[in-house]
Amino acid sequence: MVTMRNKKGQATIEYLVLLAVAIIIALVIFAFMGWVPGFAGSLKERQVRLFWSSQFPIQIRDYKVTNSSGGMEMMVQNVGDSKIEILNITAAGVSDTTLSPSGTSARLAAGESKVFTADAISCTGIGEVYELENVSIGYNVVDGISGMVETGERPLVGRCQSG
């Protein structure tokens, strides 16, 4: 009879251990799906960067947004076959047509990359997470079709940096 009493609490302990394991697994899944604030921000940013670096014919290779004039810097690469000229960048409903560089300096040969600055697009607080929806890049194909627009299905996501 003494041995039966010792085994009586074993089921309770096994139940608690299994419950703890299930809770830990659920928390990890919630965190990766973005249900825990602040945990999945860098994961989302990596997914967005991967998306934009796989577009055609214009890829956004790198970007940052600051809280001052010269608000957005974006490294753009032409992965198409034709030379293109970048005309404007639109993000979060703000279109910047005064890019630097501009005109013939904004032309990209096939495979070429350049950093563009869009003064009209910025963020508010340093270190705060931003999410710029409805990103599009207007361009002309040199000696080809004018008024082309590449629109992304994903926003640009990151942390606001000081300018």
CATH value of 41-159 in 1.10.3470, 1.10.3680, 2.60.40, 2.20.28: 2.60.40
- For residues 118 and 122, what is the distance between their CA atoms, to the nearest angstrom? 8
Domain boundaries, the chain: 2-32, 41-159
Dist. CA 23–CA 33, nearest whole Å = 15
Distance CA 60, CA 65 (A): 13
Is the pTM higher than 0.75? The answer reads no
What contacts 73, CB < 8 A, 6 or more positions away? 63, 64, 66, 115, 116, 117
100 has pLDDT over 90? no
- 6 pLDDT band (50/70/90 cuts)? low
pLDDT per position as a tens digit, 51-86: 999 999 999 999 999 887 668 899 999 999 999 999
| 13-56 pLDDT per residue, tens | 888 999 999 999 988 877 766 555 555 557 788 889 999 999 99
Q: What is the DSSP letter of 106?
A: G
pLDDT above 90 (res 141): yes
